[in-house]
Homo-oligomer: A and B are copies of this chain.
Amino acid sequence: MAYRRMRRRVAKNSGARTGQVARGRAPTLADVARLAGVSVATASKALNGRDHVRAETRSRVAEAADQLSFIPNSLARSLLAGRTGTVGLLTSDLDGRFSIPILMGAEDAFGAGRVAVFLCDARGDAIREQHHVQALLNRRVDGLIVVGSRTDPRPSLGRKLPVPVVYTYAPSEDPADLSIVCDNVAAGRLAIEHLIACGRTRIAHITGDPDYGAARDRARGAHAALKDAGLSLVGEVRYGAWSEGWGRAATSMLLSQEPDVDAIFCGSDQVARGVLDAVRERGRDVPGDVAVMGFDNWEVLAAGARPSLTSVDMNLEEIGRAAARALFAALDGSPRSGLEALPCRLVIRGSTAALG
């Protein structure tokens, strides 16, 4: 069967019409109206629940639509309404680790099906990104959500775009744009406060690339929380890479230099996995001797660890929901701008526990 929609000059299948769907051509409102014996205007009003249609007529139209399995053509509707109920999600996040939760949150914000999301992966290429933006504007998306590949500010798409844009995960460099990110400073506090609540006082911090604002922000929050408790970090913040390898290496050094450390807050779950390995290799028990915390709550890493890893969840779905709401608020005439930070959430597993 060919799905090609046959283009017909004139749809003159009125003669042999038997109530069946014309093969290869999707039924239109006109078909429904004809079958129900009313005008297209009436059929439209009947199906959309508008006034000025008798109940009997309404049900007759509904029945006709059902019989033809009529699917209204959103294209025509959007063309008229000027809104498509469509947003573009632009990402460079190659494995979708951050994009997918944000996308799911955005879908949620409207109830499944009311809004559809175009997902475009620019693969870190500015040219490709421009391409995608252009294609999305062609398709008349109502707005754009940009998901940064790293947490650092990224170049703005510009102020000239005809649709609102929300930057998530990574903020835009332009403060006139709206950016919704997670509150990394508060997250750092949250982690340290948990460790302190577990009775830990000799806390170290091993994290990733110092070029990432998120790494610095988390460290800042950690410092602040320690200070509030009258404590201070064991050694300096150990910046490195977002990898297991760095976690292992940094831990070896740490345990040699500071043997009495009793907790390690890590900048990511990957780092934490390396830390866990190295701590155990040194014969220390987790969480008996040393508590370990991760960051990201990346299920497959955190739950599979031994012991399972306490972590900080960035509430990406909530960020997605907030982004979608902000987009439509902008469409309704209430645009916002600036940086909005949403709180993170603690997920406690086996790698942290009360001391003693």
Where the two chains meet, the residues of A that have a C-beta atom closer than 8 Å to any C-beta of B are 1-5, 7, 26, 69, 71-76, 78-79, 82-84, 86, 89, 94-97, 99-100, 103-104, 107, 112-114, 116-121, 123, 128, 131-132, 134-140, 143, 160, 162-164, 243-245, 248, 270, 273-274, 277, 299-301, 304-306, 330-333, 335
A300 to B304, CA, bound (A): 13
**Known contacts A95-B96, A244-B306; is A117 also within 8 Å of B116 by CB?**
no
Minimum C-beta distance from A80 to chain B (A):
9
Q: Which 10 A-B pairs have the closest CB atoms?
A: A96-B96, A96-B100, A5-B82, A244-B304, A113-B135, A119-B119, A2-B333, A113-B131, A74-B138, A75-B79
Number of copies: 2
A234 to B273, CA, bound (A): 31
Among the listed B83, B121, B333, which residue makes an inter-chain contact with A103, where contact means beta carbons less than 8 Å apart? B121
Which B residues are CB-close (under 8 A) to A120? Answer: 107, 112, 116-117
Contact B132 A112 (CB under 8 A): yes
Which B residues are CB-close (under 8 A) to A89? Answer: 119
Contact A300 B270 (CB under 8 A): yes
Minimum C-beta distance from A311 to chain B (A):
15
A277 to B84, CA, bound (A): 52
Chain B's closest residue to A79 (CB) is: B75
A261 to B116, CA, bound (A): 52
